[in-house]
Amino acid sequence: MNLLPALLNRRLCKLGAALLLAAGMLHAAPSHADAIDTIAKSGKVRIGVFMDYPPFGSIGPDMQPLGYDIDMAELIGKALKTKVELVQVTGDNRMAYLAGGKVDLLLSVGQTPERAKVIDFSDAYAPYYLAVFGGPKLAIKNSADLAGKTIAVARGTLEDLSISKTAPAGATIKRFDDANGAISAFMSGQTQLMVVGNDVGATIMAKNPAAGIQQKFQLFSSPDHVGFNKNEARLTQQINQAIVQAKKDGSLNKISQKWLRLPLPADL
């Protein structure tokens, strides 16, 4: 189960330093036409998505993109009444793509104070968080229930920091060199629980349905937003209206159930 490259990519784009590299480019970007006018003139909206991180974005057996963000992109296209052009991005280049006008917006953007200085955000459209996962026979509802349990985690990661702060003294945290090591330890029965992102957890559950793996409770949370260049008020308003409507009519909940195997959180 080769999840590590994508996991690292996710960490970089949500929590890492790629933003700082792109910040200067954003400030230096030339003035541009209103994004809604640009989209209307071109007849399409260009949306930056990851294609290497299931279940948010990947390439299927038929060589077509699929995932939560792919469905979200289609929802945005319908809201804007225009065609959708998916643009594959990476954690390293996507901020520069936005600043340079290669995309009109980005998906799967975590909101931080640093990023808010250089880009704007929509309302949250997808949950992203770290969580404790385990088998169906374990009754785990909160951190207190971890006493006496063994937990797999990748050493030195945000997962490690989060569970170390949360777990009671009676819990045994087993640290592995990377995410794949932690996942393998859990899947082979070396530990009773593991801590991973909800996206990784959903992928593991989808690939191992017979195991009955369950999400027990959440830790650190950083929901996904749509990212825009600064001062795109009309585009931001229209995307927010689309998100509100999709929450109201159940469209986003269907996407969440389909790709994350859990209902959309009520507090998203």
* CATH architecture type of domain 129-221: 3-Layer(aba) Sandwich (3.40)
Model confidence over 203-262: pLDDT tens digits?
Answer: 999 999 999 999 999 998 889 999 999 999 999 999 999 999 999 999 999 999 999 988
Q: Where are the domains of the chain?
A: 4-128+222-259, 129-221
DSSP code string of 170-189: T-EEEEESSHHHHHHHHHTT
Domain 4-128+222-259 identical in fold to domain 129-221? yes
Q: How far apart are CA 98 and CA 102, in angstroms?
A: 6
C-beta of residue 228 within 8 angstroms of C-beta of residue 121: yes
Q: How far apart are CA 202 and CA 62, in angstroms?
A: 21
Q: Does the domain spanning 4-128+222-259 belong to CATH 3.40.50.300? A: no
Residue 4 has pLDDT above 80, yes or no: no
Lowest mean pLDDT among 9-23, 80-94, 160-174: 9-23
Q: What is the mean pLDDT of residues 96-124?
A: 93
Indicate the pTM of the whole model. 0.78
Residue 266's pLDDT band (cuts 50, 70, 90): confident
Parallel/antiparallel/unpaired status of strands 83-88 and 105-110: unpaired
